[in-house]
Amino acid sequence: MLRYLTAGESHGKGLIAVLEGMPAGLKIEAATINAELKRRQAGFGRGKRMQIENDKAEVVAGLRKGVSLGSPIALLIKNKDFSIDTLQQVVCPRPGHADLSGLLKFGFTDARDVLERASARSTAATVGIGALCKILLRQFRITMNSGVVSVGGSQTRKAIKEKIQHAIAHKDTLGGIFEVMVEGVPAGLGSYVQPDRRLDSRLAGAVMSIPGIKAVEIGLGFGYAHKFGSEIHDAIYYSKSQGFYRRTNSAGGIEGGISNGENIVLRACMKPICTLMSPLDSVNIRSRRPAKASVQRSDICVVESAGVVAESAAAYVLADALLEKFGSDSLSDIKASYASYLKRIR
């Protein structure tokens, strides 16, 4: 079983991620992790923080000579912008952010104590964990990618760029929809026997845990609501060369909480960034008087980046499900079990 924890604040010394349960014998290179971290920082509409940070992960535990030992793997991503103790207080919470709810929950009098951890800066650690999981998944020819479906309702690259430029000019922000596709997933990951073991529920929960994500769909998703069953269920076929297969994939690669051997396809909607350069109405939490919301350094649009983070969230879930089915101690043993299983289901 895989499990992980992250720690760190947006303007603290850095971010820490610890992943437990990775098998022994997996070759891990920091350059592979750093390539994923760089992808997270890309995309038109990112803010000035991306010009400051050049995220790089240092593997500080869990490896010997670049190979996993089966013990917890620890990553450290240092922040160049380490200024948490000198930043100004925040007393006017931003609508849409965790500012006010966090203040009420913990009894803080400064929203800085909330936003430093609630910030999406924490997703750099998520991507570090996801990079490790992707390295494992590639050993089994499981790969993934993501792409922007729409931003602010626009779908073409040109229209999306124009939409973001409009938001920049008007001191506004934009959200949108992205898609993650996973190829090479074998049938049989996940389970129908308990709700928390269903692969679709695990994937949806992982993606929904990303800051700013407000909706997730798998396969046809909400499209199921407008069709007859005869139009959308994926008919089953068999050939000696392919085994069982489908000609359509409305299910998005998951049926009954279990992967069915087709590509896993999920989409998610990210809301517009909460920090507006032309802020909305708020209340000063000390005087209780009307005020404009706090303005923090922020992005305009991060839909492309959110897709990269969602890849990482999905990679963690799939790696966990893979180890759950085929073992988790030694990579060579897992590969042998995997090969035997594929032979059986053919």
pLDDT band of 113, cuts 50, 70, 90: very high
- Quick one: pLDDT at residue 54? 85
Question: For residue 70, is it left (φ>0), alpha (ψ between -120 and 50) or beta?
Answer: left
- Quick one: pLDDT at residue 53? 67
Which fold is adopted by the domain 3-345? Answer: Chorismate synthase, AroC fold (3.60.150)
Q: Is the pLDDT of residue 30 over 80?
A: yes
* Phi, then psi, of 212 in degrees rounded to 5: 90, -10
pLDDT band of 346, cuts 50, 70, 90: confident
Residues 6+ positions from 55 with CB-CB distance below 8 Å = 34, 37, 38, 40, 41, 77, 124
Pair 18, 4: CB distance under 8 Å? yes
Q: Is the pLDDT of residue 297 over 80?
A: no
pLDDT digits (tens, 9 = 90+) for 180-194: 999 999 999 999 999
Query: Measuring CA to CA, which residue among 137, 147, 177 is closest to residue 270?
Result: 177
CA dist 94 and 114 (Å) reads 11
Residues 6+ positions from 123 with CB-CB distance below 8 Å = 40, 210, 211, 305, 309
pLDDT digits (tens, 9 = 90+) for 147-193: 999 999 999 999 999 999 999 999 999 999 999 999 999 999 999 99
Query: Measuring CA to CA, which residue among 79, 82, 75 is closest to residue 58?
Result: 75
What rounded mean pLDDT belongs to the chain?
Answer: 95
Count CB-CB contacts under 10 A for residue 24: 17
pLDDT digits (tens, 9 = 90+) for 13-25: 999 999 999 999 9
Q: Is the pLDDT of residue 242 over 90?
A: no
Q: DSSP label at 27?
A: B
Q: Is the pLDDT of residue 51 over 80?
A: no
Q: Can you tell me the mean pLDDT for 306-314?
A: 97
CA-to-CA dists, residue 300 to 52, 90, 91, 330, angstroms: 16, 20, 22, 44
- Of residues 44 and 34, which shows the higher confidence score? 34
pLDDT digits (tens, 9 = 90+) for 244-290: 999 999 999 999 999 999 999 999 999 999 999 999 999 999 999 99
- Quick one: pLDDT at residue 29? 95
**% of the chain exceeding 70 in pLDDT:** 98
Q: What angle do CA 48, 209, 13 make, to 5 degrees?
A: 45
- Quick one: pLDDT at residue 48? 63
CA dist 66 and 324 (Å) reads 24
Tokens 């303007």 correspond to: 11
Q: What angle do CA 174, 175, 178 make, to 5 degrees?
A: 140
Query: Measuring CA to CA, which residue among 105, 85, 107, 82 is closest to residue 13?
Result: 82
pLDDT band of 50, cuts 50, 70, 90: low
According to DSSP, the residues that pair with 148 across neighbouring strands are 178
Give the residue extent of every domain in the chain.
Answer: 3-345
**% of the chain exceeding 90 in pLDDT:** 92
Query: Measuring CA to CA, which residue among 307, 312, 178, 189 is closest to residue 254?
Result: 189
CA-to-CA dists, residue 291 to 91, 111, 122, angstroms: 10, 15, 28
Amino acid (1-letter code) at residue 163: K
Instruction: Specify the pTM.
Output: 0.94
